[in-house]
C-alpha cells in the first residue's frame, strides 16, 4: 500500500466512524489573513476578492504537499460529501 493510499484509508475510516464530525470539519472554513502566502492551504473567495479562508482539507493538503505526496479531495455527489479520494 502506498503512502497516499494509507492517508486515504485513514481519512475514509474516520469518515465512516463519525460522518457528522468529519462533515463538520471538512465543510467549515475560518477567515484568515495570516496564511495568505500558503496557496495550497488557503483559498481566496472568487465572489469576494480579498477574502481568504482556511479549512481542514487545505491543512491536510498542505501537509501532504510538504512531504511530496499527492493531494486529496472530498468525494461529493448530489447528496453531499461522502468520503475522500486522490485529487485528479
- Sequence spans of domains, the chain: 3-86
Q: What are phi and psi of 49, to 5 degrees?
A: -55, 140
- Confidence band for 36, pLDDT divided at 50, 70 and 90: confident
Please tell me the predicted confidence (pLDDT) of residue 60.
Answer: 96
40: pLDDT confidence band, cut at 50, 70 and 90?
Answer: confident
pLDDT, mean of residues 70-86: 95
pLDDT the model gives residue 52 = 87
Which contacts of 32-39 are long-range, i.e. CB under 8 A and separated by 24 or more positions? Answer: 38/62
Handedness of CA 19, 22, 26, 31 (dihedral sign): positive
Burial of 4 (0-12, 13-18, 19+ CB in 10 A): middle
* Strands 80-86 and 42-44, bridge-based pairing: unpaired
Amino acid at each position: 500500500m502506498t503512502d497516499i493510499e494509507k492517508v486515504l484509508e485513514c481519512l475514509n475510516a474516520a469518515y465512516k466512524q463519525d460522518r457528522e464530525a468529519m462533515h463538520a470539519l471538512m465543510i467549515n472554513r475560518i477567515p484568515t489573513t495570516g496564511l495568505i502566502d500558503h496557496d495550497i492551504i488557503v483559498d481566496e473567495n472568487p465572489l469576494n476578492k480579498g477574502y481568504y479562508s482556511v479549512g481542514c482539507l487545505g491543512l491536510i493538503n498542505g501537509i501532504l504537499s510538504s512531504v511530496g505526496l499527492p493531494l486529496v479531495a472530498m468525494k461529493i455527489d448530489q447528496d453531499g460529501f461522502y468520503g475522500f479520494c486522490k485529487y485528479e
